Amino acid sequence: MSCHKVLQEKGYRITPQRMLVIEALHNADSHISAEEIFQQLHARYPYSNISTVYRTLELLKKLNLVTETDFGEERVRYHVAEKSHHHHLVCRRCGRVIDLDESALYPLKGVLLRDYDFEADLRHMAISGECSECRKKRE
């Protein structure tokens, strides 16, 4: 479901700023920060403001069109919501982000529910650690 269409259906206005924010989110290789989105927006729309970016991201989050992930940086990152959830393995040395299929977390989810009676929300996990390359270098 395109962001454009959802906005339209729900009666939100399609503004150039919103379109550019959405475009930046879609074009991003990986997860993108508000600041990075703003840079792209500002390049094409010099009078735009970062508060518009934040307001648009808030709207898109509310509509479940984007998700927000905290990678343990000082800022939060965004990406377009996908049907099949995935997670992130973040190398603490090189910052590399490896996508992790949600199925890898099913066993954990089961244990938490069975043993701790806790329904874990594992939709947006970022697991810190060390990737194979950095581990090789260190050894």
Partner DNA sequence: TTAAATGCAAACGCTTTGCAATTGA
Partner DNA sequence: TCAATTGCAAAGCGTTTGCATTTAA
- Establish if 129 lies at the interface with a copy of itself (CB under 8 A): yes
| Shortest Cβ 126–DNA spacing (Å) | 14
Dist CA 128 CA 92 (whole Å): 6
- Establish if 91 lies at the interface with a copy of itself (CB under 8 A): yes
Q: 26, 40 in Cβ contact below 8 A? A: no
Pick the binder of a copy of itself from 5, 44, 62, 135 (CB under 8 A): 135
Dist CA 23 CA 16 (whole Å): 10
Q: 77, 32 in Cβ contact below 8 A? A: yes
Backbone angles phi, psi at 65, to 5 degrees: -95, -25
Pick the binder of a copy of itself from 29, 47, 84, 115 (CB under 8 A): 115
Sorted by sequence, the CB contacts under 8 Å of residue 121 that are 6+ apart come out as none
Partner from DNA, a copy of itself, none binding residue 50, C-beta < 5-8 Å depending on class: DNA
Q: Which residues contact DNA (rule: CB under 7 A)?
A: 8, 12-18, 33-35, 45, 47-52, 54-56, 58, 74-76
- Establish if 94 lies at the interface with a copy of itself (CB under 8 A): no
For the record, the structure tokens of 89 come out as 């393995």
| Shortest Cβ 98–a copy of itself spacing (Å) | 6
For the record, the structure tokens of 38 come out as 């703003």
Q: Which residues bind a copy of itself (CB under 8 A)?
A: 70, 72, 89, 91-92, 98, 100, 104-105, 107-108, 111-112, 115-122, 125, 127-132, 135
